[in-house]
Amino acid sequence: MPKYVYDFAEGGKDLVDLLGGKGANLAEMTTLGLPVPPGFVITTEACRTYLRTREVPAELTDEVEQHLRSLETAMGRRLGDADDPLLVSVRSGGAISMPGMMDTVLNIGLNDASVLGLAAQSGSDRFAWDSYRRLVQMFGKTVLGVDGEAFDDAFDEAKQAKGTKDDLELDTDDLKGIVTRFQTIVQKHTGEQFPQDPRLQMELAVQAVFDSWNTKRAKLYRRQERIPHDLGTAVSVCSMVFGNLGMDSGTGVCFTRDPGSGAQGSYGDYLQNAQGEDVVAGIRNTLPLHRLEEFDKASYDELLDIMATLEAHYRDLCDIEFTIERGKLWMLQTRVGKRTAGAAFRIATQLVDEGVISEDEALQRVTGAQLARLMFPRFGSTDEAPVLTTAMGASPGAAVGKVVFDSDTAVQWKERGEQVLLVRRETNPDDLSGMIAAAGILTSRGGKTSHAAVVARGMGKTCVCGAEELDVDVHARTLTGSDGTVITEGDVLSIDGTSGVVYRGEVAVTPSPVVQYFEGELEPADGDDLVQAVHRLISHADGVRRLDVRANADNPEDSERARRFGAQGIGLCRTEHMFLGDRRQLVEDLVLADGEQEQADALDALLPLQREDFVAILRAMDGLPVTVRLLDPPLHEFLPDFVELQVEVAVAEATGQEVEPKRQALLDAVRRLHESNPMIGLRGVRLGLVIPGLFGVQVRALAEAAAQLRDEGLDPRPEVMVPLVSAVQELEIVREETERILAEVAADTGQEVATLIGTMIEIPRAALTSGSIAESADFFSFGTNDLTQMGYGFSRDDVEVSFFARYLELGVFGVSPFESIDESGIGRLVRISVEEGRAARPDLKIGVCGEHGGDPSSVHFFHDAGLDYVSCSPFRVPVARLEAGRAALGRSVTDTS
């Protein structure tokens, strides 16, 4: 019989999978003796059972009743008692943090009778009715599904009638009227009265939190952050403490280090006379945490002590929520805090220097995804840029885009190729799709702990919050500055998420100093603390990783950059890119060749050009392996478009013009080469076997280039890779020809250059017959793009446009299989191939050259599968280096940003 409910005193942070992050950490703080309001946690297992059966388990109902009675006994109050009511909060909390994505309901237990008891108990009528107002509004929206705008509009109307914009200016009578108005809204929208039974309120709230696991925004967030959909959420039921009892009360969120920069110290926001959702929602602008010392030094000092205790206990940046009730400090939540990419690297190295964690653990605290964010550009000179306002930099970076005022518009404009900035008064969880689409987010309300700030930091989006000088009119689609400047939808703004400055128009960006470091333009000692932190951690990753990291590069420039970025060779040099531009004519000559002599002449014309290409690339990668893939695409890709040629010839014939014989011959050739499905037609090794000498001229050019460089005293290390092999016989034929040509070049030049001969594994049959193929191969390299296409049976170019979005929405894919390797399907083919290939040839070298080689999650899979190297685009080489080090330490790819 599963145990569905745990008291705070029973659990701890090690039970995070069962109690969720919030519940496990409340239990941990209770164990540490910190001031935590009593309560209990309903487990993720209970949630999963409910979501599977759509019924609350009978055992759960009994356990909740038992723990509620114990809580009432401990507090000396009964839930919703008319004279001295116990009130509770019902909060979500998954094992992996999903800030703002699921639901919370406060003040459960209030009704028309107990609100009077709360007023008498607290000595404040205003506080009691404000709490009741909050319950009806939050319960109505979260549990009963009433449109939140109905409550917002009614609340705004009440403030307008009072002649104020400040919630605190509303008195008891105003709030009583608002409660009545809110209850009428509930009746109108649901057909039922607001529930007066406190236990029914709690039961419905728990079910609503369970259901919030599968809301559209929660699913979208999990897809964005690659969080499994089957975890479920825990529910924390906690006795209420109140920050809205007066100016000696309040609520806040704080961090033990700056989550934006990583700077040491105490950071956060505080609101007097408020409840927790006021801070996160950004409804009122907050005070910086240090201001708390001015009006409640005792609570401030106690909070600083607790912050130090928690950081020492968790050995990391902590994110803490707290409430002060009439001078008494209560801890409502802690967790390892979300942080920006820069802060992650700085904090990790700080903790090493402080002796808190080891270098291995520091490497485990950062991710390749975070490193990639640090490599994006930032604003250059802003001296001439007109400043619209300066607010709070909530998530670093530089973002430029056209202003939009709602999420739907952001998504639509992004889909048509526009770069946008989402501008809101404050964001809420329903804005997630727009936040994902936008290059950056700007809000006129809220602070560093508002919804916009927390979610933006998690996604690596630039964000500026609390721009209160700006009047955002969502309905008029305008933004008005304090100087009267009006920005309309579609106008361009630039925002700096570090300084908080908002500029009118487009501001130019400059390269990231992290990129300058990788380019060799900036020595670590000359860089700032971020560059030094990146240098330390990626150097440590290089020291512990087993996987080599190569680059995909087709020209000297990319090869040189890859080497600067730390590549240990080229894992994929695509020769087809060398036949474009002016050289297309040579391909046409080859296709139109009449007889063996003309064909040989066409190939001879290609030889010196190919040799020149290979000399430049081998020179750039001197002393490192260069894997050259022989021609892979079908020939028709180098020829004029079939339809255009048909039209050209048809128009000429229709108008009585003479059709050039060569154009007619080209049309005939393109028609002859035309295939219904060219991606699985005459390409790769098949093309090399059908056109004698095609692969031979490439091999000869490569061998002669290597011999020339050997004459110069260099150390070229070429490798020949045969594409699209599906049967060992194909490879045997090409290998025989290749070895013959290598021997001829060695004899002619007097330079014998050791050259490995291998194949791409990109067809499922090749993966399943790897044992026999390995007998004729010195190496395998997985072409995971084609392997994924053929394994799934679809064309990437077609399906990503036609139905991938729907599949992601439905959860068929958690992430595109072209972005991260499909471990259970395509990954199984990889594992079979590695196992059978190495069984036949123990010294077989194995790598991957699809873009999966630079994907953080995929790098971990390839490490585990036993590959020797990954290869990716030059820009992703540092990311792969870092993740290869983390993979060697057994770290998952989940990050804390």
Catalytic positions: 451, 849
Q: In angstroms, rounded to a whole number, what is the distance separating the alpha carbons of residues 744 and 452?
A: 66
The owner of tokens 């108008």 is 655
CA 157 to chain centroid: 40
Q: Which residues pair with 629 in a beta bridge?
A: 574, 721
Three-state secondary structure string covering 847-859: EECCHHHHCHHHH
Strands 378-379 and 509-510: antiparallel
C-alpha to C-alpha distances, 696 to 61, 603, 699, 706, 895, nearest whole angstrom? 76, 9, 5, 15, 48
Residue with tokens 């959702």: 277
Distance CA 808, CA 819 (A): 12
The helix (run of H) or strand (run of E) holding residue 831 is helix 826-840
| DSSP reduced 3-state for 643 | helix
Which residues are CB-neighbours of 699 under 8 A, at least 6 positions away?
A: 630, 720, 737, 738, 741, 742
The Cα diameter of the chain in Å comes to 105
Is residue 176 packed enough to be buried (19+ CB in 10 Å), middle (13-18) or exposed (0-12)?
middle
What SS3 state is found at 649? Answer: helix
371 in Cβ contact with 855 (< 8 Å): no
E strand or H helix that includes residue 446: none
Both structure tokens of 552:
């995909």
How many residues in total does the chain contain?
897
Phi, psi (deg, nearest 5) at residue 665:
-65, -40
Return the bridge partners of 424, or none. 443
- From CA 700, how far away is CA 603, in angstroms rounded? 11
SS3 category, 752 = coil
Chain centroid to Cα 442, Å, comes to: 20
* Cβ atoms 261, 533 nearer than 8 A: no
**Alpha helices per DSSP H over 655-783:** 661-673, 685-690, 694-711, 728-749, 764-768, 770-774
Q: Which helix (H) or strand (E) holds 39?
A: strand 39-42
d(CA 699, CA 704): 9
Report the sign of the C-alpha dihedral through residues 118, 120, 123, 128, in that order: positive
Quote the tokens at residue 704: 């002669």
Strand partners, 890: none
Give the Å distances, CA to CA, from 539 to 184, 341, 518, 531, 885.
64, 18, 12, 12, 9
Q: Report residue 59 CA to chain centroid gap.
A: 39
Pick from 896, 817, 727: which is nearest to 342 by CA?
896
Class of residue 86 by CB neighbours under 10 A (exposed 0-12, middle 13-18, buried 19+): buried
Are 396 and 260 in contact by the 8 Å Cβ rule? The answer is yes
358 close to 315: Cβ distance less than 8 angstroms: no
Amino acid at 300: Y
**Are the C-beta atoms of 393 and 457 separated by less than 8 Å?**
no
Q: In whole angstroms, what is the distance from residue 341 CA to residue 344 CA?
A: 5
Whole-number Å distance between alpha carbons of 199 and 397 = 47
And the tokens for 71? Answer: 């809580």
